[in-house]
Amino acid sequence: GIQVEQSPPDLILQEGANSTLRCNFSDSVNNLQWFHQNPWGQLINLFYIPSGTKQNGRLSATTVATERYSLLYISSSQTTDSGVYFCACPGAGSYQLTFGKGTKLSVIP
């Protein structure tokens, strides 16, 4: 099946800093999503982004499907951005979603 790798595994930021999280995948995809799991365990969809670039407030995401990676940008980070960020996608011809292991982000005041 498809391999999904996220980097870095852990990230500590000062409030106000910017960051880039990366998701590499081993197969062509037609569906890629980013999620945030907050400290209370809730999983929130941030972006459905099979290709191109999207922005939502301080967050934006870019997927370059031909090069098999996606990036999540967080600007002017806030303590409420803390948590774990996951990307997920299916393999070519598959409906089975595979998640990366996540990037744990800690934003400190």
Partner 1 sequence: EAQVTQNPRYLITVTGKKLTVTCSQNMNHEYMSWYRQDPGLGLRQIYYSMNVEVTDKGDVPEGYKVSRKEKRNFPLILESPSPNQTSLYFCAAGYNSPLHFGNGTRLTVT
Applying CB under 8 A, the residues found at the interface with partner 1 are 1, 30-31, 33, 35, 41-45, 47-48, 86, 88, 95-102
Burial 83-96 (b: 16+ CB within 10 A, else e): bbbbbbbbbeeeee
Those residues whose C-beta lies under 8 Å from the C-beta of residue 67, and which sit 6 or more positions away, are none
Q: Least Å distance between CB 55 and partner 1? A: 15
Q: If you ran DSSP here, which 8-state letter would residue 98 be given?
A: E
Q: Provide, rounded to whole angstroms, the least separation between the CB of residue 29 and partner 1.
A: 12
Question: What minimum distance in Å lies between the beta carbon of 42 and partner 1?
Answer: 6
Q: Which is nearer to partner 1, 25 or 35 (CB)?
A: 35
